[in-house]
Amino acid sequence: MTTSYTIEGGNVINTALWERYVPTADNAVDWKAYTSFRGRHNDSLGKRIRMLNLAQLARQTYVPGIFAECGCFRGHSTHIIATMMRLTGRKDPLYVFDSFQGLSPVQPEDLTDDPRASSIQDALRAADRPLFAASLDDVKTNLAEHTNIQYFPGWIPERFADVADETFAFVHIDVDLYAPMRDCLAFFYPRLAKGGMIQIDDYNFIDWPGCNKAVNEFLADNPPTLFVQLPLGGAFLVK
Ligand SMILES: C[S@@+](CC[C@H](N)C(=O)[O-])C[C@H]1O[C@@H](n2cnc3c(N)ncnc32)[C@H](O)[C@@H]1O
């Protein structure tokens, strides 16, 4: 994937000399996990960066504890996390929380009048069809090779009570909207081991203002050891 274009002043920018990056050129483990998913998935430079970061964090989580994901859609990011757990010999379960019916109801915090917003905002306003809905059966089929996954179908935070006594080492949150994002942080951060990590997929996207609001509100009261904003969207924290 090489894309170049001329910017103001006549300079040419190569946005991605993708095949020349070491993490991809030798088919390294992170990239192999990204490309080996059995289900359908979208693809973009930003998503590649977030998912390669996710893979790296998942395989470099050394503290004890369970892994979890909130928001799996068809299971692409779940596959990447589970693959890293297998590669590193991690025996812990991977808990997956999702409605398996798509996004929950949109609230005013999730809407923006920013003119740079995309058709995603139109879809959120219309709310005439479920967005990002994949059935539990389809997800299980896509992830059949991973035997350590436990599914918790339901609207966040309904099923969190089932795991309230656990300690978590790594959590991926990709639920797009304000309310579930707020609820995920409120539940998982106090149960995250010291040195544990949370990656947040939807941070810094104009189309998902509710995510930034929930995260920023939470961080104001709960400063982590480290909070890193990824280039082109997404962020992670280390407790
Ligand atoms: C963008 S998709 C996740 C994409 C996935 N992480 C990936 O990278 O392939 C968002 C997911 O969040 C789930 N979701 C959103 N709000 C939810 C809620 N309140 N409760 C449960 N699941 C929710 C949707 O069902 C959907 O699967």
In sequence order, what DSSP letters do the residues of 15-45 get, joined into one string?
A: S--GGGSHHHHT--HHHHHHHT-SS-----H
State if residue 143 touches ligand 1 by the CB under 6 angstroms criterion. no
How far apart (Å, rounded) are the C-alpha atoms in residues 87 and 99?
28
Question: Does the beta carbon of 170 lie inside 6 Å of ligand 1?
Answer: no
Q: Is 211 exposed, middle or buried (0-12, 13-18, 19+ CB in 10 A)?
A: buried
The pLDDT assigned to 19 comes to 75
In this prediction, the residues of the chain whose per-residue pLDDT falls under 50 are none
User: Is 96:69 a contact under the CB 8 Å cutoff?
Assistant: yes
Protein residue with least CA distance to atom 25, ligand 1: 102
Q: What pLDDT sits at residue 176? A: 98
Q: Ligand 1 atom closest to Cα of 155?
A: 20
pLDDT on residue 27: 72
Q: Angle of helix 45-59 relative to helix 76-87, nearest 10 degrees?
A: 30
Pure H helices in the chain: 22-25, 29-35, 45-59, 76-87, 119-126, 136-142, 178-188, 209-221
Contact 40, 66 (CB under 8 A): no
Query: Which strands make up the sheet holding 192-200, listed edge to edge?
Result: 149-153, 94-98, 66-70, 168-173, 192-200, 235-238, 226-229
Query: Looking at residue 111, what is its pLDDT?
Result: 97
Residue corresponding to tokens 């400063």: 223
**Contact of 121 with 128, CB cutoff 8 Å:** no
As a whole number of angstroms, the distance between CA 227 and CA 224 comes to 7
- For a mutational test of ligand 1's pocket, the pick from 36, 50, 162, 175, i.e. the residue with the most ligand atoms closer than 8 A to its C-beta, is 175
Q: Which domains does the chain have, with CATH numbers?
A: 38-238 (3.40.50.150)
Ligand 1 neighbourhood includes 152 CB (under 6 angstroms): no
Report the atom number in ligand 1 closest to the C-alpha of 69. Answer: 6
157 lines ligand 1 (CB under 6 A): no
| pLDDT score of 2 | 63
Tokens 């942080």 correspond to 185
**Helix (H, G, I), strand (E, B), or coil: what is residue 228?**
strand
Atom in ligand 1 nearest the alpha carbon of residue 134: 27
pLDDT score for 7: 76
Any atom of ligand 1 within 6 Å of the Cβ of 104: yes
pLDDT for residue 85: 98
CA neighbor of 92 nearest in space, from 29, 171, 188:
171
Expressed in angstroms and rounded, the spacing between residue 9 Cα and the centre of ligand 1 is 42
